[in-house]
Amino acid sequence: MRASSVGAGFGLALAILPAWAPAAEAQGRGSGGPDPAPSVTAAITISLGDREAIRQFYAERPAQDVEGLPPGIRRNLERGKALPPGIAKRNPPAELRSHLSVREGFEIVEVGLDVLLVEVATGVIHDVLMDIVR
């Protein structure tokens, strides 16, 4: 009697397992496809040391006759869009550039009163220091 009750319980467990296994397998997939790989993004910005060097440089050497950008263009820069054609950009003075550590493929430029980190190949802005050039 004891052997038959064990056998009956074992048969019941096997009968439930096949119905449960496909549901558990599909549960992690959502729409039935494989889980998407997690995406990793890294922001490329002006380093903290470079930020301080830029601020200190312009605090000690105020620029003359520099005007700010129009508000619409400035908002686009803040959003990381590319510089529009025709916007005057200047290279910072050589004295400042020699103290900065900018990644290959990027450049620091002055546009209006702001200092930007720009990707050379695409013109996309990665970081903005606003109202620094004064």
Does some domain include residue 5?
Answer: no
Higher local confidence (pLDDT), 11 or 122: 122
CA atoms within 13 Å, Cβ hemisphere of 45: 10
Does some domain include residue 37?
Answer: no
Q: What is the largest CA-CA distance in the chain?
A: 102
Q: Tell me, what CATH number does 121's domain have?
A: 3.10.450.160
Question: What is the C-alpha to C-alpha distance for residues 41 and 44, in angstroms, rounded to an integer?
Answer: 10
SS3 127: strand
Instruction: Give pLDDT tens digits for 84-112.
Output: 888 888 899 999 999 999 999 999 999 98
SS3 87: coil
**Residue 9 confidence (pLDDT):** 45
Q: How many domains does the chain fold into?
A: 1
Q: Which domain holds residue 60?
A: 48-129
Instruction: Give pLDDT tens digits for 16-70.
Output: 444 444 544 445 555 555 666 666 556 789 999 999 999 999 999 887 788 888 8
Does some domain include residue 118?
Answer: yes
Contact indicator for 133, 114 with CB cutoff of 8 Å: yes
Does some domain include residue 57?
Answer: yes
Does some domain include residue 6?
Answer: no
Does some domain include residue 113?
Answer: yes
**Residue 50 confidence (pLDDT):** 95
Contact indicator for 74, 111 with CB cutoff of 8 Å: no
Does some domain include residue 63?
Answer: yes
Does some domain include residue 42?
Answer: no
CA-closest candidate to residue 81, choices 119, 35, 129, 51: 119
**pLDDT category, 5, cuts 50, 70, 90?**
very low
Query: Could you tell me which residues are beta bridge partners of residue 125?
Result: 118
**pLDDT category, 77, cuts 50, 70, 90?**
confident
Average pLDDT over residues 4-14: 45
